[in-house]
Structure 1
Amino acid sequence: MADSKRLYIVLISVHGLIRGQNLELGRDADTGGQTKYVVELAQVLSQHPDVERVDLFTRLVNDHKVSPDYAEPVEMLNDRARIIRINCGPRRYLRKEVLWPYLDVFADELLRHVRQSGRMPDVIHSHYADAGYVGCRVAGWLGVPLIHTGHSLGRVKRQRMLDNGSKPEAIEEQYHFKTRIEAEETTLASAAVVIASTHQEVDDQYRVYDNYSPHRMAVIPPGVDTKRFYPIKILDQPPPIFQDLSRFLNQPYKPFILCLSRPVPRKNVSALVKVYGEDRELQERANLVLILGNRTDISKMEASPRQVFGELFSLIDRYDLYGRVAYPKAHSSDDVPDLYRLAAQQQGIFINPALTEPFGLTLIEAAACGLPVLATADGGPRDILGNCDNGLLFDPLDPKDIRRALHAAFADQVQWQTWAANGLKGIETHYSWKSHVENYLAKIETLAQKSVISILSPRRTEPEIWATPASAAPPSVSTSRNRLLDLDRLLISDIDNTLIGDKDALIALMEEIAKHPGMGFGVATGRHIESTLMVLEEWGVPLPDVLITSVGSEIHYGPQLVPDTSWQQHINYRWQPQRVQQVMNNMAGIVLQPKVNQRRHKISYIVDPAAAPEIDQVLRYLRQQKLQVRGIFSHEQFLDILPLRASKGDALRYFALKWGYPLKKLLVAGDSGNDEQMLTGNTLAVVVGNHSPELEKLRDRSDIYFADGHYSWGILEALRHYNF
């Protein structure tokens, strides 16, 4: 590939603790195989000759309870790869389930960083649902392809927990599955390619999603770092971790049943301990070694790992397993390959008893060290053992089946040797980073989608938006310099019940704006352009510098009302208006609004709540028909169907990016749930005093000002509050 075409790849992995060295794998539920995978992916991609640079974006954590490494804004992995940490929410470390309210800020900060970097990414690759939420927004604003890897899936996890007897209300409160699944559905609708680790993930797990599109999915299993994970026939001397294990074991040289995982209920370690505790013969044959992350004070851990350790210690005590089970408090990432090699030298076995396992990185690490494996008959282990033939699968819910597999592993030394040799061959053939990167880059190079925005200039230059004016514009279009090029900040307001509603307040606001020639004025409204112009004239509002209309599906620029045709092209992505109307024609209680309210990229309906299905059901049905759309429901009776990329918030960010306005130079004002996406993120925001109840959930946000004044009085109050 020519130097001019070498790739710039952006990876996003929001949660957990991510750094380049000594990853704290197993520290908690969020710092597992995903963190290891994304760091290694960044490193190996950057070493390929077709790649110019890789940036891995994650959350900056400035918390005395964790290493100061995670508060460094930039960490170089090598001369072409780095970790970039973004401020997002509180400074302290947070579990992924409570990060959702802060992801709009993460997306805006990522957009700002990309603009300042002076280089458009060729692709954005998101990891897990939270990064998917960020990735599909930023990729949408930039118009670049989105690649996504789910790692684990909310619908699958939720169903498995329900099958195990969990209460729906309890797991929703803890895991926020509704928010997670909605983010996954949107990401699947937006992604150009979804990378899965196994065929079972594509065929079974993704199939339960409305936006399941197998033709956009590719199975590319992760690789293993064979410079770290390799076999040794005889260890010259026991590794350092052996001393820690020996403190627990009466006979430390017996074979190991090695289990290495995070301390979360899904990993099902308690089932393994029960099987071992109830089988005296198994205890005589082997020691049980449990490597479950690092811990200091269990009482200060989160509820989930605290529950796991409490149950494990209770079982060890119940079965009197002291001297037979090792469960060290800490280990380093360098100890992990030593553990596999130590277990292999003693002709032990590696076991993964998880209830669900999307891939199972530890399985290929163990195999690369010559250690046979036993694993749950789910997801990744099925593919791995199918490719490597280096162990046995079992049903993790059946103790008898776990016991059967363990006895078989120690029954035949010749079989053990065959499994060990097969694993080494299988890793070389199927799970090398070299093959992973080649397949990955082949997928990227087939993506033909191109950006429609130029963001390379750090300051505003005149965008190429001049085109045929809208029907409401005067017949002649001036080519004189646009005022937007000279402004340094803008007030952008919703119209109904925000800008208008009090004549005196509106006059006072317009007079204030007129005093500041550097401040521009724009509107963002659900009204179409003709209706917008009519109501502005009726209330005596001067023509705005920018008009975002039809719920964000149209953008016009004053004074000649020139339409942004690039925005129209941008949101046309996967838009099928005729099919939308065909599907919606069959909906009871939902009828089209008058023709004047229909636009090229907006289909508007009137909803009879007594006769129509719930709006969530309507939108899900559209997804099931493979229609990637966004639904905006307002005032309990109006439903607008838009392209996936269109909304007032998306149009606002597109405008800011195109014209070079930092989001902190935009003050946005709104009053209803319609405005939520516009209000959240890095913009300065005000909710006027007469707002609708649905915005109360934003009151705790420090970056959103709730005014006492109603209508334009509230906007004036915000101008003073922000010293705008």
Structure 2
Amino acid sequence: MKRYDKKIYIVLISVHGLIRGHNLELGCDADTGGQTKYVVELARALGEHPDVEKVDLVTRRIVDPSVSDDYSQRFEKLSKNAQIVRIDCGEETYIPKEHLWDCLDNFADSILEYIKLQPEIPSIIHSHYADAGYVGTRLSHLLGIPLVHTGHSLGRSKRRQLLAAGYKREILEARYNITTRIEAEETTLGVAECVITSTSQEVFEQYAAYDHYQPERMRVVPPGTDLQQFFVPEGNEGSSSIATEIYRFLKDPEKPIILALSRPDPRKNILQLIAAYGESPELQQLANLVIISGNRGDISEMDDETQEVLQNILLHIDQYDLYGKVAYPKHHEQSEVAVIYRLAAMSKGVFINPALTEPFGLTLIEAAASGLPVVATEDGGPIDIIGNCQNGYLIDPLDREDIKSKLLDILSHQQQWEEFAQNGILGVRKHYSWQAHTEKFLKILHPLITSTVTTPPFHAKRRKQLHHDRALFTDLDQNLLGNPPALTTFIEALQANRKCVLFGIATGRRLDSAMQALKKHRIPMPNVLITGLGTEIYYNPNLVPDAAWELHIDYLWNPRIVRRALRELPGLKLQPRLEQGRFKVSYYIDPQIAPDIQHINKLLNQEGLAANVVLSFGQYLDVIPVRASKGLALRWVAERYEIPLERILAAGGSGADEDMMRGNMLAVVVANRHNEELSDLAHVDEIFFASRPFAEGILEAIELYNFFETCEIQET
């Protein structure tokens, strides 16, 4: 069998999920997410391309009365030259992807039998997700044809997120076969001639965790957007049911709409947007604010994090008295999202994504296709999207003035608005349509198909540890921010050793305040960010919150009892609501007239509440759960990353850092320390008291402990 000289035959493999060419059942379970939509639309678009002879999207055949009979049909036409081919794999009934591993060898053999019946062998195989990667690797070896792979999501990232959510390692193995998945991904990355990703962030942050990491074989091709669903206003959007739902909130619904659309997640930073709008009479005069933040029923019955975000949205609207100016509908259908974009575009409004970080930014593309200018975070995928489309502005999501000025600029200048709107429409067609996607995809495939020499095999160096050999944790304000030249030197030393050292920040600041400080002082994003005096833990990339830690520290915690027990004490004054947290009650303290810490602890104990009382800088007093502190959070993270405490360097300078430096860790107290609060540590021989302040003190400790030079991780 010879290959086509001109037109090509492509086999796409996507094993799991409910895959059909119409009425995709998206979101009905973990197997029916965006991947199923992506592979169907990719196959259809490729089948319509003049350079493509044939496309087979191969998936698992399912015969199960609980699902549609569509999934039992062996063939389904997608477009002129593309079809779905369903092949048996193990049991006929619907099986979650985690339990398909045992039948994948049979599946691969059955696909091989199908291919042998075709007039020509495929020009290339493109596998999707780890299970298809396993199958594609076997077929590539047997047929001697190139393999292209798209991971969609990765096992190492999944494991980190599930551990953060509180799953035990043995549960991960039993439920998710996570080690098997990661091994399949490693093998696929070692074999694949090319790996297709959606963003550069995937290449440099997610795939970099793998032994077979080969960035030179990776290509960024953003997914296409359905331009039949997302398009410019037709003029009748104002009579839709979702328009009625939105307009009922607004005194003047004719004003332009500032549209924010995201799930209720603190990382989406919607509160900062409301504050920026609430502090700007000009914005309120010019436009309405519309917040689409998921669907909600009774907020009090939702999970804690969602409940907190939604409650804070309502409280912020009330705080700034924005009634009649802000719409926040409870419900919308997925099919109405495109109408919402068009409503905003028809009003001459603007779409805003103020997230702290945004890996890709599909909503920006959808908004642009709808003729809506955009304003978006400068962290992540929006950089590429706005760079390609030239249809709006990047913002610092933690700078309210920046948010206000960029929104005002677009809303106040009609010619600029028109230019951005037109640029977005054209930019999406050029860079983010399915036609653009297939052109880029085929351009990548061409040299792989025509080459007579395969890429040399990649020899990976197996890492000795899952993540890093050691870790460095430091406070923010007292340790890093006081000496800019020393901070620059510290950052350079840290960056040179990031493959070896996990970098963590442990601070009393809120997440948004800590992020703002990191950006302002150009401190590299830490692998782990411990905020709120150890009450919150976030993992990068994407600032994934440690949900298991939240459940853990909720033990015996009742902030109402704290406030009641301490409300009559002299010398204590509650800090503003913004400084309070779900697991932190914060006061200003005047030590001259306030009782000592022992007395405060006694009062809390009398109320039956065990808590940690933390005094910082002689003027701040925080009460947090008994299971929370910087030191306890650090040890929790060390357990998650399997880093021995003896290989952790902890740096601090105030009373809030004390338990972070006690114990088996290497520790340094910088010279600009708060002497009175850390006086007890002077008697601990294992703790190094630096002679230099701020980052210089940390560098002094790194040299003393020979911390970087003894690293055991080798370059890969």
What is the TM-score with the length of structure 2 in the denominator? 0.52
Out of 245, 265, 270, the position equivalent to 1:268 is 265
Q: Does 1:328 align with 2:331?
A: yes
Task: Tell me the secondary structure at the aligned position of residue 182 of structure 2.
Answer: helix
Structure 2 Cα separation of the partners of residues 406 and 177 of structure 1: 45
Kindly provide the amino acid, as one letter, of the partner of residue 405 in structure 1. I
Kept in 1: contact 2:267–2:357 (CA 8 A) = no
Q: How does 1:495-644 map to 2 (within 5 A)?
A: none
Distance 1:108 1:313, change over 3 A: farther
Task: Name which of structure 1's ranges 152-161 and 35-44 shifts more when overlaid on structure 2.
Answer: 152-161
Map residues 150-549 of structure 1 onto 2, 5 A cutoff.
150-156=151-157, 169=169, 172=172, 177-232=178-233, 235-238=235-238, 240=240, 242=242, 245-246=245-246, 249=249, 255-256=256-257, 258=259, 268=265, 271-275=268-272, 281=278, 285-290=287-292, 292=294, 324-328=327-331, 330-332=333-335, 335-352=336-353, 357-393=358-394, 400-401=398-399, 405=403, 408-410=406-408, 412-413=410-411, 414=413, 416-447=417-448
The 1-side partners of 2:300 and 2:67 are apart by: 17
Displacement of 1:422 after TM fit? 3.1
Distance 1:291 1:72 in 2: 38
The 8 Å contact of residues 429 and 436 in structure 2, kept in 1 or not, is answered as no
Q: Which amino acid aligns with 1:331?
A: Q
CA distance in 2, matches of 1:64, 1:410: 56
Distance in structure 1 (CA, Å) of the matches to 2:244 and 2:28 = 18
Conservation of the 8 A alpha-carbon contact between 1:359 and 1:380: yes
The alpha-carbon distance between structure 1 residues 448 and 370, as it changes in their structure 2 partners (threshold 3 A), is closer
Whole-Å Cα distance in 2 between the matches of residues 167 and 45 of structure 1? 40
Mapped to 2, the partners of 1:435 and 1:287 lie a distance apart of 33
Q: 1:379 to 1:316 in 2, by over 3 A?
A: closer
Deviation at 1:360, TM superposition (A): 3.4
Q: What's the CA shift for 1:183? A: 2.4
Q: Is the 8 A contact 2:8 2:52 kept in 1?
A: yes
The Cα shift of 1:575 comes to 6.1
In structure 1, C-alpha distance between the alignment counterparts of 2:451 and 2:334, rounded to whole Å: 46
Deviations 1:293-331 (A, max 9, x none): 9x999999xxxx978766666666766889831242533
- Match status 1:53 vs 2:54: yes
Q: Which amino acid aligns with 1:363?
A: L
Residues 43-83 of structure 1: CA distance to partner in whole angstroms, max 9, x if unpaired? 22112222111111234455666555444443211231112
CA contact (8 A) 1:11 1:125 kept: yes
Deviations 1:116-135 (A, max 9, x none): 44542211111233322222
Please tell me the residue identity of whatever aligns with 1:324. A
SS of the counterpart of 1:347?
A: coil
Query: Counterpart of 1:125 in 2: which secondary structure?
Result: strand
Mapped to 1, the partners of 2:104 and 2:299 lie a distance apart of 30
- Aligned to 2:448, the other structure's residue is in SS state coil
Conserved? CA contact 2:269–2:356, under 8 Å? no
Q: Counterparts of 1:353 and 1:111 in 2: how far apart (Å)?
A: 48
Distance 1:137 1:3, change over 3 A: closer
Q: Choose 238-247 or 381-390, whichever is displaced more.
A: 238-247
Shift of residue 368, structure 1, vs aligned partner: 1.7
SS of 1:83's equivalent in the other structure is strand
Paired amino acid for 1:438: E
- The CA RMSD over aligned residues, in Å, is 4.9
Question: CA 1:224–1:573 in structure 2 vs 1: closer, same or farther (change >3 Å)?
Answer: closer
Contact 2:123/2:449 (CA < 8 Å) preserved in 1?
no
Give the letter for the 1:132 counterpart.
G
8 A contact 1:268–1:354 mirrored in 2: no
Q: What amino acid is aligned across from residue 11 of structure 2 in structure 1?
A: V
Counterpart position of 2:147: 146
Aligned twin of 2:692: none
Hey, what's the Cα distance between the residues in 2 that align with 1:72 and 1:102?
A: 20
2: distance between equivalents of 1:71 and 1:257? 46
**Shift of residue 373, structure 1, vs aligned partner:** 3.0
> Conserved in 1, the CA contact under 8 Å of 2:230 and 2:338?
yes
Mapped partners of 2:80, 2:355: distance in 1: 38
Q: What is the Cα deviation at residue 11 of structure 1?
A: 1.1
TM superposition shift of 1:145 = 1.0
Distance 2:465 2:199 in 1: 35
Residue identity matched to 1:149: T
Secondary structure in 2 aligned to 1:422? helix
Is residue 389–residue 422 contact of structure 1 (8 Å, CA) maintained in 2?
yes
| 8 A contact 1:201–1:379 mirrored in 2 | no
| Paired-residue identity, % | 46
Give the structure 2 partner of residue 500 of structure 1: none
Contact 1:272–1:402, Cα closer than 8 Å, also in 2: no
How many Å separate the matches in 2 of 1:614 and 1:426?
Answer: 44
CA distance in 2, matches of 1:146, 1:292: 39
Q: Residue 146 and residue 327 in structure 1: after superposition, are their counterparts in 2 closer, same or farther (change >3 A)? A: farther
Range with greater deviation from structure 2 (84-93 or 277-286): 277-286
Map of 1:12 onto structure 2:
13
Q: Return the offset for 1:438.
A: 3.0
State the Cα distance separating 1:12 from its structure 2 match.
1.8
- 1:22 CA displacement: 3.8
Quick one: which amino acid aligns to residue 292 of structure 2? L
Q: Per the alignment, in what secondary structure is the counterpart of residue 11 of structure 2?
A: strand
SS of 1:238 mapped into structure 2: helix
Corresponding residue pairs, total: 452
Distance apart, 1:213 and its partner CA: 2.0
Given the superposition, is the C-alpha separation of residues 208 and 449 from structure 1 closer, same or farther in structure 2, using an over 3 Å criterion? farther
CA distance in 2: counterparts of 1:351 and 1:380, whole angstroms: 14
C-alpha separation between the residues in 2 aligned to 1:405 and 1:97? 43
| Contact 1:275-1:403 at 8 Å conserved across structures | no
Residue type matched to 1:373 in 2? V
Please say if residues 209 and 467 of structure 2, whose CA atoms lie closer than 8 Å, have aligned partners that are also in contact.
Answer: no
- The answer on whether the counterparts of 2:357 and 2:377 sit within 8 Å (CA) in structure 1 is yes
Aligned to 1:44, what secondary structure does the other structure show?
Answer: helix
Residues 507-562 of structure 1: CA distance to partner in whole angstroms, max 9, x if unpaired? Answer: xxxxxxxxxxxxxxxxxxxxxxxxxxxxxxxxxxxxxxxxxxxxxxxxxxxxxxxx
Pair 1:34 & 2:35 matched: yes
What corresponds to 1:690 in structure 2?
none
**Aligned residue for 1:78?**
79
Equivalent residue number for residue 585 of structure 2 = none
Given that residues 291 and 328 in structure 1 are in contact (C-alpha distance below 8 angstroms), is that contact kept between their aligned partners in structure 2? no
Q: Which has the higher contact order (CA 8 A, sep 6+)?
A: 1
Q: 1:410 to 1:46 in 2, by over 3 A?
A: same
- Separation in 2, partners of 1:256, 1:112: 56
Letter in 2 for 1:268: D
Quick one: structure 1 residues 430 and 328, their matched pair in 2 at CA, closer, same or farther if it must change by over 3 Å? same
Hey, what's the Cα distance between the residues in 1 that align with 2:214 and 2:74?
A: 37
For 2:30 and 2:162, locate their aligned partners in 1 and report how far apart those are by CA, in whole Å.
Answer: 16
Counterpart residue identity of residue 131, structure 1: A
Aligned-partner Cα distance in 2 for 1:126–1:438 = 18
Q: Deviations over 1:261-295 (max 9, x none)?
A: 6x6xxx836744544676772896534443759x9
